[in-house]
Amino acid sequence: MRLWLCSLISFALLCTGTVSAAPTDAEKKQARALMDEGDALAAKKEYSRALEKYLAGDAIMRVPTTGLEVARTLERLGRLLEAKERAQAVASSTRTGDEPEVFEKARSSARELAEKLDARIPTLELEVKGARPGAAIEVRIDGKRMESEPPLKKQLDPGQHELSVSAPQHTTSVKSLTFAEGAMQKVEIEIRPTDAASVPPPKSPPPDPPADTKTSPLVYAGFGVAAAGVVVGSVAGVVSLQKTSKAKEDCDGDDCPQSSKDEIDSAKTFATISNVGFAFAIVGGAVGVYGLLSSSNARGDAKRHPVRAKSRAPSLDAAVGPRFIGVFGTF
């Protein structure tokens, strides 16, 4: 069976130093039954239930042999850190004068187990970046708060673990990490200040200069002249056509009475007035369109080049001759 069975025969004759009094015969019998139940469960690989029995038996006996069984079962469950701690506790337990040889063998086995477990346990090396100097950084592994602050070196059981790093007035960073047996894993986590005093406000672009919404007077003047020119040209044209038609009725080919000649001259005069009216309408329309364009360009230039917009002054001039009428200027 197990080594601890031999120790129970002489247990009443020694003191291990780990309990205040030796267990009674009834307690020894109870411990023996618990350890037997643990053996049966371990044989069926029901290690969680076996551990419960071994822990209960070790709580009664507190001897190296029962403690070694607890450490071995913790190892089988993948709880390597706890198994190592139990094995180290057994290995460092105090030897008494009259204890059985089996206890010393259990200590030796526990020492070897602790060394093997230490090589299998993965290690986390944590470094935190981005925090303000002096910030109180809190590290939690699987929800359990670590006593020391980063940089942190910590042994963990193999498998998946959740790592959380936070600090007052800082962001919280959470990572899920998987550790293989014996691995040395270096992890860098960044947290950033969140309070307004430590985060500079974003630079806003300079405001646009106020848009010039004034409409150029050329718009009103130009379109006003254009409208008047259309009216004058239309009326004069109609009168000219009427006089020409009346004069043709009184003429016989090129032979016209004096009254018809006067009518023809009058028709020519109205025709000239009509042409001049429409010419002014064209010029006025051009001036009005120019006024609209210059107002729009002035607003755009004021936004893009305020100084240039102020220094550039557009000009417009009109020219009228016996055979022409037009506008010219700078834009």
Residue 67 resides in a domain: yes
Final residue of a structural domain among 79, 99, 120: 120
pLDDT of residue 330: 54
Q: Are residues 319 and 233 in the same domain?
A: yes
Q: What's the predicted TM-score (pTM) here? A: 0.52
Q: How many structural domains are present in the chain?
A: 3
Residues 291, 329: contact at Cβ < 8 Å?
Answer: no
Q: Which pLDDT score is estimated for 217?
A: 76
CATH number at residue 157: 2.60.40.1120
* pLDDT value for 111: 97
205 assigned to some structural domain: no
Indicate whether 115 and 8 sit together in one domain. yes
- Angle at CA 86, nearest 5°, toward 80 and 91? 120
What is the reported pLDDT for 9? Answer: 34
Closest CA to 179 of 146, 150, 157: 157
Question: Is residue 218 within 8 Å of 192, Cβ to Cβ?
Answer: no
Whether 166 and 247 share a structural domain: no
Closest-CA residue to 2 (of 56, 97, 48, 70):
70
Domain assignment of residue 207, yes or no = no
Together in a domain, 280 and 225? yes
Kindly state whether residues 15 and 94 are assigned to the same domain: yes
Of the candidates 190, 225, 247, which is a domain's last residue?
Answer: 190
Residue 201 lies in a domain: no
User: What does the alpha-carbon distance between residue 2 and residue 39 come to, in Å, rounded to a whole number?
Assistant: 9
Nearest to 162 by CA among 137, 145, 181, 149: 145
Residue with tokens 């049966």, as numbered in its chain: 40
Q: Which residues contact 205 (CB under 8 A, 6 or more apart)?
A: none
Kindly state whether residues 113 and 136 are assigned to the same domain: no
Last residue of a domain, one of 172, 190, 208: 190
- Give, for all 331 residues of the chain, the pLDDT tens digit: 444 433 433 333 333 334 447 889 999 999 999 999 999 999 999 999 999 999 999 999 999 999 999 999 999 999 999 999 999 999 999 988 888 999 999 999 999 999 999 999 999 999 999 999 989 999 999 999 988 888 889 999 999 999 999 999 999 999 999 999 999 999 999 999 997 545 555 666 766 655 555 677 766 776 777 687 677 767 767 776 776 776 666 666 666 666 666 767 776 786 788 777 677 778 767 776 776 676 666 555 555 555 444 445 455 555 545 455 555 555 4
User: Is residue 282 in some structural domain?
Assistant: yes
H or E element, residue 274: helix 258-304
Same domain, 43 and 129: no
Q: Considering the domain boundaries, does residue 195 fall inside one?
A: no
To the nearest whole number, what is the mean pLDDT of the chain? 78
CATH number, residue 25:
1.25.40.10
CB 137 within 8 A of CB 147: no
